[in-house]
Structure 1
Amino acid sequence: MTVSLSAAEIAQMIAPGDVSSSEEMVHAQAISFFPRHWRGRWPERLEIDSVPILSSDGLDGTGRRTVSRSDLFVLGREVETPIDALNFFVAVHSWGVGTSARGVIRGLRVLEDEDASKKILGALESLREADFDPRVGYSAFNNYDQSKVKYLGPAFFTKLLYFYSHDRLSRSTNAPLILDQYVAASLGWGPWGWSTPQYVDYISLVDEARSLLDSDVPGDVIEYVLFDHGRRNA
């Protein structure tokens, strides 16, 4: 499937000095969610007290918790066990769906797989062992003979890849990035079903666009610009 935008066209979307598309602004992007949406439907076989992101501590007056990209980078650095992976998944999924109870229900469907946490950890470990190669991480999450979990699609597992790898990477190119329906819309792709080669093409396109810019614009800033463009034109 071809991409409708060229690297040059993407680079032109980045206005020099535009604070709205700065690295600081993107990393501060924060979403609020209601932990009670998870707690009210939480699977009995899973110990909810081991998932601190759903704690009742630190909520605002309406019962919401707010998490930013920067918060999720920190959680990504801490993932070492299946319990860590579970907490990380819930946090990232919550950032993705916000206050939507229906969105939380979709996340809980992922946890219907009793090995979901182990599979998520396995995919992330495969990514780390491959020096955070986006192709390896995407393939691991996207194939049942590797670590695919039913109901966990690319729009959310690329978030896991991105937040897990961001602070662990020592390079700025060929880095995992989020690919969701709005980014895909900007690329001229359908809203779901993207293949591993497509994901690799997307990462390469972002790197090519970065190379055309005068300043060192991070890949996730371009991802955000594509997301915002796709959302506004949806």
Structure 2
Amino acid sequence: MQSTKVDLLPARTTFQDRDEVLGQAIPFDRARWLPLLPGPDWWPAELDDCPAAAGRPRVDRRTVFSIARRSDTTEGRRHLLTAALVWGTGTQARSVARRARVFAENSAGDIDARLAAALGVLREEGAVAAYYAFNNDSRIKFLGPAFFTKVLYFAGHEQCVGAWRPLILDRYVALALRAADTGEKWRTGGWTTPRYGRYLSLVHDHARRVGVLPDQVEAALFAFGRRLV
């Protein structure tokens, strides 16, 4: 798939530097998560070392990346999934319960097998093939694209082949893409594999042209999309 020159963001967009992106921190409530996990061993110890702000611990991208380095083991993949869900959810009880349906509606063994298969595809075939795996043969019930692309993003920074590193695609990013002149209509969910490939192509091309890293563009799209709501 060839890159297309498309301006995804307003010309005067100021990009966060990479340290700011890696420092993007989300508050979480450990007490709400632990009873909903298959077992206490699914909780990564790094989350207990996160600094607190306004009375809540906060996990940042840098911490989830450190957890993802262990995703070549069953325990490491469990920890990565938990950390990606925690980072993407926040503290509201309803949101935590919704995300934790991943654990309520799938057996631990099934989650383990599907995570291993999809992340194996990521390492061997790349980001787009791994997206297809998570969306099809390795689909985990109640783990939709907005969250399995988080798993891919954190796992794929160091364990991925191909020219494109995986990036997060959620409704806010999609809203920003909808506002850009990409030539397509962007839904806010349920993206096909070709559409995810198109997204990676657009973002990587934009990043090269403006001289930043792809996840700096993703973070800017997310921020812009939130302002459109």
What is the aligned-residue identity percentage? 37
Q: Which residue, 106, 125, 139 being the options, matches 2:132?
A: 139
Which of 222-231 and 111-120 deviates more? Answer: 111-120
SS at match of 1:31: strand
Q: Structure 1 CA distance, aligned partners of 2:76 and 2:130?
A: 18
The reply to whether residue 176 of structure 1 matches residue 166 of structure 2 is yes
Q: Match for residue 3 of structure 1?
A: none
Q: Match for residue 120 of structure 1?
A: 115
Instruction: Verify the 8 A CA contact 1:176 1:203 in the aligned structure 2.
Output: yes
Give the drift of 1:87: 1.5
Letter in 2 for 1:10: L
The reply to whether residue 89 of structure 1 matches residue 86 of structure 2 is no
Give the drift of 1:212: 2.2
Instruction: Verify the 8 A CA contact 1:34 1:63 in the aligned structure 2.
Output: no
Q: Match for residue 155 of structure 1?
A: 146
Aligned residues: CA RMSD:
2.4
Q: Match for residue 202 of structure 1?
A: 199
Letter in 1 for 2:148: F
Q: Structure 1 CA distance, aligned partners of 2:5 and 2:93?
A: 37
SS at match of 1:66: strand
The within-5 A match list for 1:1-234 is 7-10=5-8, 12-13=10-11, 15=13, 18=14, 21-42=16-37, 46-53=38-45, 60=52, 64-111=56-103, 112-114=105-107, 115-130=110-125, 133-143=126-136, 146-168=137-159, 173-188=163-178, 189-213=186-210, 215=211, 217-234=212-229
Unpaired stretches in structure 2, ≥5 consecutive residues = 179-185
Q: Note closer, same or farther for the CA distance 1:212–1:74 as it changes in structure 2 (3 Å cut).
A: same
Instruction: Verify the 8 A CA contact 1:7 1:206 in the aligned structure 2.
Output: no
Give the drift of 1:129: 1.6
Q: Note closer, same or farther for the CA distance 1:207–1:195 as it changes in structure 2 (3 Å cut).
A: same
Give the drift of 1:179: 0.1
Q: Structure 2 CA distance, aligned partners of 1:58 and 1:82?
A: 23
Q: Structure 2 CA distance, aligned partners of 1:226 and 1:83?
A: 32
SS at match of 2:101: helix
Q: Structure 2 CA distance, aligned partners of 1:113 and 1:96?
A: 20
Give the drift of 1:47: 2.7
SS at match of 1:193: coil
The number of residues matched between the two structures is 216
Query: Scaled by the length of structure 2, what TM-score is found?
Result: 0.84
Unpaired stretches in structure 1, ≥5 consecutive residues = 1-5
Instruction: Verify the 8 A CA contact 2:89 2:99 in the aligned structure 1.
Output: no
Q: 1:100-139: per-residue Cα shift (whole Å, max 9, x none)?
A: 2222212221112111132112211111122xx2211100
Q: Structure 2 CA distance, aligned partners of 1:126 and 1:35?
A: 31
Q: Structure 1 CA distance, aligned partners of 2:166 and 2:47?
A: 29
Q: Note closer, same or farther for the CA distance 1:223–1:7 as it changes in structure 2 (3 Å cut).
A: farther
